[in-house]
């Protein structure tokens, strides 16, 4: 039987020579763009240049692999598998995938803010949602995106049905089709514009009312109010999962919106089991002066509640806890490790939390035998850039690091200090319960006229109290080790303070952490 021949009609696949020529032309043009933008201080631009370099490297690799096959092979169609090795086909697949990634990234680059905090957030967004970098592992809540896809899919289905419907009096003609498309074109253009916005950074959805959202407010649940607004429990309509809804009231100015969207931007690029997960941000037509942010999970018990509670109430809420108990300490050490791991995740993504304190740490499933610590409230967090301006006092006063008080610098080491303050309070309660916490608080928050009410500014009395609470002749090896870790985090000189990675590595050696 004669071998089949390729048709020379319009549907013929391009030859490898044609494909290579097209790919090399794309590479040439993109390389010129990357050269023109080399050395930029914009993270999104640098990311685009990096992806262009990756694409060109793949194209050159594909070119060299095809060249090894000889000139005759270049006349074959690109899908002629008998002539091409799996290695070459795999490289071609990688080239196509990288081309789509690069073009999507360049499209975002042309539309999105590239400077300042917003530009840095857009670069992180691109890594997660366009490049799909491996550093963003694990599960993620996509209810907001799922609801958008469902809504957009139904709307698109309606357009298709409307377009395909036979006209009255006979079958569809070319003239009918053109006329109908012209009629639908404005609505289709609006649809495509909205669809694009749905998947842009820091997108805020819009609903007619709260009843039209994917969530039902738990009327029996508590509402926790603050200066920003309120946090309350909601349940997802389809899954039934309990979530937290944070409502920002009185949002009138662009400056207010920008601040809220920065918090949304930080949350949507984070994917860590010990950081609250972003679900969706939305507004409603019947209350357009509020912005609501939905997060997972619903975890109303804060570290402050754990520390501040009377011993009896704490025991009722956390049955596993017992002061000065080796078994209880295993739970404590594991939660301390989880928090260090979460902060390291933030720092690895150039995010500085800036306001780590007991109110901004949640304890999820506190009554179970596997309580989990979660970091929340990234309202003042920012992408860290050495040498950039910062608001030194844009954090809670009691937990400001010495260098922040002195307005010298505010770095990742300042986060280590703040977390060390939280750990010190945890150890005080772990040793003596409520009395330990109160004694430690009294060491830096007193009625004295000269008391400065900040751990850094009252450090000698704070350290003296912490020593007395945590260290005794009966302290075991683990207690001495964890105390040394916390003292290191509270080193007054930030250059002598350990990185969060070193803190995490030291905590990993404590009993109970690896279980």
Domains delineated in the chain = 16-131 (no CATH), 142-157+180-298 (3.30.200.20), 303-507 (1.10.510.10)
Contact between 116 and 382 (Cβ < 8 Å): no
Total Cβ atoms within 10 A of residue 432: 19
pLDDT digits (tens, 9 = 90+) for 286-296: 999 999 999 99
Cis peptide before 335 (omega within 30 of 0): no
Residue owning tokens 């080796």: 326
**Which phi and psi angles does 186 have, rounded to 5°?**
-60, -40
What are the pLDDT digits (tens) for 191-230? 888 777 777 899 999 999 999 999 999 998 889 987 678 9
pLDDT of residue 76: 57
Q: What integer pLDDT is reported at residue 136 of this predicted model?
A: 37
* 138 pLDDT higher than 60: no
Q: 174 pLDDT band (50/70/90 cuts)?
A: confident
Residue 479 has pLDDT above 80, yes or no: yes
For residue range 231-286, list pLDDT tens digits in order: 999 999 999 999 999 999 999 999 999 999 999 999 999 999 999 999 999 999 99
Enter the tokens of residue 50. Answer: 């990096």
pLDDT given for residue 240 in this prediction:
93
Residue 434 half-sphere exposure toward CB, CA atoms < 13 A: 9
End-to-end distance of the chain based on CA atoms, in angstroms?
66
Residue 427 has pLDDT above 60, yes or no: yes
More confident residue, 8 or 30: 30
In the chain, helix, strand, coil percent, each to 5?
50, 10, 35
Global pTM value: 0.87
């Amino acid at each position: 039987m004669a071998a089949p021949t390729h048709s020379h009609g319009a549907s013929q696949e391009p030859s490898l020579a044609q494909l290579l020529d097209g790919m090399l032309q794309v590479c040439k043009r993109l390389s010129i763009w990357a050269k023109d933008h080399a050395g930029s201080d914009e993270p999104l631009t640098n990311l685009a240049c990096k992806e262009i370099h990756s694409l060109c490297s793949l194209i050159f690799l594909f070119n060299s692999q095809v060249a090894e096959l000889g000139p005759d092979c270049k006349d074959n169609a690109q899908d002629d598998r008998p002539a091409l090795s799996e290695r070459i086909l795999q490289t071609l697949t990688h080239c196509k995938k990288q081309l789509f990634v690069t073009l999507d990234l360049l499209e975002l680059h042309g539309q999105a803010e590239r400077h300042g905090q917003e530009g840095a957030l857009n670069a992180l967004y691109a890594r997660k949602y366009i490049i799909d970098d491996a550093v963003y592992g694990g599960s993620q809540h996509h209810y907001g995106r799922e609801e958008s896809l469902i809504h957009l899919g139904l709307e698109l289905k309606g357009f298709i049905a409307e377009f395909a419907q036979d006209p009255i009096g006979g079958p569809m003609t070319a003239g009918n089709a053109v006329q109908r498309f012209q009629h639908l074109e404005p609505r289709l253009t609006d649809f495509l514009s909205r669809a694009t916005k749905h998947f842009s950074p820091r997108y805020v959805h819009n609903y007619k009312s709260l009843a039209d959202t994917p969530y039902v407010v738990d009327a029996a649940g508590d509402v926790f109010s603050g200066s920003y607004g309120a946090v309350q429990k909601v349940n997802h309509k389809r899954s039934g999962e309990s979530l937290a809804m944070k409502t920002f009231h009185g949002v009138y100015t662009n400056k207010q919106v920008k601040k809220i969207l920065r918090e949304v931007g930080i949350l949507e690029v984070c994917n860590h089991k010990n950081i609250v997960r972003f679900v969706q941000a939305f507004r409603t037509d019947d209350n357009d002066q509020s912005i609501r942010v939905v997060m997972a999970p619903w975890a109303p018990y804060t570290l402050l509640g754990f520390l501040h509670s009377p011993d009896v109430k704490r025991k009722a809420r956390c049955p596993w806890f017992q002061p000065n108990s080796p078994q209880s300490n295993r739970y404590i050490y594991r939660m301390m490790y989880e928090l260090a791991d979460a902060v390291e995740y933030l720092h690895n993504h150039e995010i500085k939390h800036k306001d780590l304190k007991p109110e901004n740490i949640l304890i999820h499933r506190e009554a179970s035998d596997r309580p989990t610590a979660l970091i929340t409230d990234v309202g003042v967090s920012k992408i860290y850039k050495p040498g950039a301006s910062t608001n030194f006092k844009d954090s809670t006063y009691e937990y400001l690091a010495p260098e922040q008080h002195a307005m010298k610098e505010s770095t990742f080491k300042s986060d280590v200090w703040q977390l060390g303050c939280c750990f010190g309070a945890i150890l005080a309660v772990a040793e003596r319960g409520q009395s330990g916490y109160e004694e430690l608080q009294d060491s830096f928050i007193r009625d004295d006229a000269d008391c400065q009410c900040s751990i850094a500014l009252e450090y000698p009395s704070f350290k003296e109290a912490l020593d007395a609470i945590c260290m005794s002749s009966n302290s075991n090896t683990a207690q001495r080790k964890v105390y040394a870790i916390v003292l290191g985090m509270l080193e007054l000189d930030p250059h002598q303070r350990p990185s969060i990675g070193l803190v995490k590595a030291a905590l990993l050696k404590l009993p109970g952490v690896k279980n």
